[in-house]
Structure 1
């Protein structure tokens, strides 16, 4: 009975109290009677509250003078799991993730709000509005987990891969044949999960959208981690997750893009003024269609200087682009 009393008071404080709205002893007593169908005396509740405020208790119950009666104490259970802003971050991340279906989004947000008291939960009622639609992907969560487990166990995997055509039909690449790869890491980039991997027997590293993968299966193959490969560094050099050759690149930008470049390459990026209104960025990056298209987003405010093959790719793409409007 003593354990039931203690657990009931803990649950009552966890559900109905907060730092902003603590509960008096009489309020606790009323709630326990109404919501838990348990009749406790003032002494029983007071004894449990004294224990919960002692150093012996693993729960941190605080008290202060009641706003209604300064002679009366009011109690609340300090939330040691999540602060309200932390829950808000998690809720917003779930809401914005396109690969989490609308139904699963609602279920996850409901569970997240259940990790705090009712008062704080109500403050989290206003959900993030996402500008892009959700997509439903069969076995997506299972695939992500399978990939993480394969990477941890150094297991090779195989899977089928495909894309939609203009008729909105999902067509498997290679006529449905399996890709066999060494999985190096899972990356979340611009609302999508990607697998960074090497195809079996090849050295080139390729990124695969996980929502386009199906039938993910472990193989008998085992791979040894490359101590010289830094996944975080590699991903930082990609542009829109396109694969390519790692090169030293140099790009001129108009000064008004300085914050964009610092956001992308970091405060320690090698940036040098070259005129009153232009600066030069020198960095290591993956030369690819992704880099070309990323540079084109800035129009004439960005100019590739080197390497020479990047400059040529830019010229060809600009010629092709301008030809659409002749």
Structure 2
């Protein structure tokens, strides 16, 4: 029999069929493969299918066959297992810095790494009601540019904005560009932040990536002192609660014993806990005392006491008094 003009596509089409339509629970029989190839205007005989499967296996694909109640051929091991894809899909869906449109596009690409049958499970995994997503569509590409700058050790410039009551962008510094030497990217509190040396303020600062606009990678080398060159991104993100700024120091806390897990979750297993009485312990942590840090303290009620330094205790009392004045004012109305 003469070879059809589409025979050269046969091996590629078989590979595509295995990738898209099969998995361990959904094999295709030889006849089903032949019928599918016929639909692509490719003639195939049973013996040639067996030869082609061996060729694909030699090439490196995990092509497997099974006999019994559900016989057929299927693709076994893939670059990602289904539980791993579910985890990645959920992470993409949960990320606030990725817009809804970009999330949907990324999830469709992740679905293509599985069979069509497994992709349905990923679609069920996707739905999470009420997730707040970023409004800045360009953040996806901004992150890519920042990685480029970090790898090339080059400074970046950008405009930085906030939103007003009408959800309009309002640029800081009257729209003047920020010049920053990037030293790391931090994913904290469901947002991406750039940690870098601000050329104008001559200090380390951090910026939310989804609030950057018109970012450009320059040809300027990194600036910063010795502390910047030895920048520890893990330590920096641990100190800044919710990435809020404030005065940094060694803060000693006295906590109830049932909060051991809470303290270790926040400050890591390296935190040194010192017993203090029957049901309390003390711990000294490096922290930036910001409103967010104080809010974390308030949230634990009488389970945590700030012991030192004195200025941290003063800030806690000042915050408490400010909140009390607010509610006393409302009661007097």
Structure 1 match to 2:54: 50
The worse-fitting range, judged by mean Cα deviation, of 245-254 and 14-23 is 245-254
Provide the C-alpha distance between the structure 1 equivalents of 2:159 and 2:121, rounded to a whole number of angstroms: 44
In the TM superposition, what is the alpha-carbon distance from 1:164 to its structure 2 partner? 2.1
Q: Is residue 240–residue 294 contact of structure 1 (8 Å, CA) maintained in 2?
A: no
The worse-fitting range, judged by mean Cα deviation, of 278-287 and 307-316 is 278-287
Provide the C-alpha distance between the structure 1 equivalents of 2:178 and 2:230, rounded to a whole number of angstroms: 25
TM-score, normalised by the number of residues in structure 2: 0.88
Q: What is the CA deviation profile of residues 143-179 of structure 1, one whole-angstrom value per residue up to 9, with x for unaligned ones?
A: 2222221222121122221212344332211222222
SS at match of 1:18: coil
**Pairwise CA RMSD:** 2.2
Of 12, 16, 20, the residue aligned with 1:11 is 16
Provide the C-alpha distance between the structure 1 equivalents of 2:249 and 2:25, rounded to a whole number of angstroms: 56
The worse-fitting range, judged by mean Cα deviation, of 10-19 and 165-174 is 165-174
Provide the C-alpha distance between the structure 1 equivalents of 2:15 and 2:168, rounded to a whole number of angstroms: 54
Provide the C-alpha distance between the structure 1 equivalents of 2:47 and 2:137, rounded to a whole number of angstroms: 56
In the TM superposition, what is the alpha-carbon distance from 1:138 to its structure 2 partner? 4.5
Provide the C-alpha distance between the structure 2 equivalents of 1:84 and 1:62, rounded to a whole number of angstroms: 18
SS at match of 1:161: strand
Structure 1 match to 2:72: 74
Q: Is residue 10–residue 77 contact of structure 1 (8 Å, CA) maintained in 2?
A: no
Say whether residues 1:180 and 2:182 are aligned partners. Answer: no
Q: Is residue 163–residue 172 contact of structure 1 (8 Å, CA) maintained in 2?
A: yes
Provide the C-alpha distance between the structure 1 equivalents of 2:229 and 2:207, rounded to a whole number of angstroms: 22
Aligned pairs, number: 319
Q: Structure 1's 264 and 131: CA in aligned 2 closer, same or farther, altered over 3 A?
A: farther
The worse-fitting range, judged by mean Cα deviation, of 294-303 and 205-214 is 294-303
SS at match of 1:181: strand
Structure 2 match to 1:95: 93
Structure 2 match to 1:190: 189
Q: Structure 1's 221 and 90: CA in aligned 2 closer, same or farther, altered over 3 A?
A: same
TM-score, normalised by the number of residues in structure 1: 0.89
SS at match of 2:245: coil
Q: Give runs of aligned pairs for residues 142-161 of structure 1, distance below 5 A.
A: 142-161=141-160
Q: Is residue 24–residue 66 contact of structure 1 (8 Å, CA) maintained in 2?
A: no
Q: Structure 1's 128 and 255: CA in aligned 2 closer, same or farther, altered over 3 A?
A: farther
Structure 1 match to 2:331: none
Structure 2's unaligned 5+ residue stretches are 1-5, 329-333
Provide the C-alpha distance between the structure 1 equivalents of 2:218 and 2:45, rounded to a whole number of angstroms: 64
Q: Give runs of aligned pairs for residues 135-284 of structure 1, distance below 5 A.
A: 135-200=134-199, 202-223=201-222, 226-284=228-286
Q: Give runs of aligned pairs for residues 115-154 of structure 1, distance below 5 A.
A: 115-126=113-124, 127-154=126-153
The worse-fitting range, judged by mean Cα deviation, of 132-141 and 185-194 is 132-141
Q: Structure 1's 179 and 57: CA in aligned 2 closer, same or farther, altered over 3 A?
A: closer
Structure 1 match to 2:108: 110
Q: Is residue 197–residue 223 contact of structure 2 (8 Å, CA) maintained in 1?
A: no
More helix by share: 2
Provide the C-alpha distance between the structure 2 equivalents of 1:222 and 1:32, rounded to a whole number of angstroms: 57
Structure 2 match to 1:291: 293
Provide the C-alpha distance between the structure 2 equivalents of 1:2 and 1:224, rounded to a whole number of angstroms: 60
In the TM superposition, what is the alpha-carbon distance from 1:87 to its structure 2 partner? 0.9
Provide the C-alpha distance between the structure 1 equivalents of 2:100 and 2:296, rounded to a whole number of angstroms: 31
Provide the C-alpha distance between the structure 2 equivalents of 1:77 and 1:150, rounded to a whole number of angstroms: 40
Provide the C-alpha distance between the structure 2 equivalents of 1:233 and 1:119, rounded to a whole number of angstroms: 43
Q: Is residue 160–residue 213 contact of structure 1 (8 Å, CA) maintained in 2?
A: yes
Q: Is residue 95–residue 130 contact of structure 1 (8 Å, CA) maintained in 2?
A: no
Provide the C-alpha distance between the structure 2 equivalents of 1:124 and 1:171, rounded to a whole number of angstroms: 38
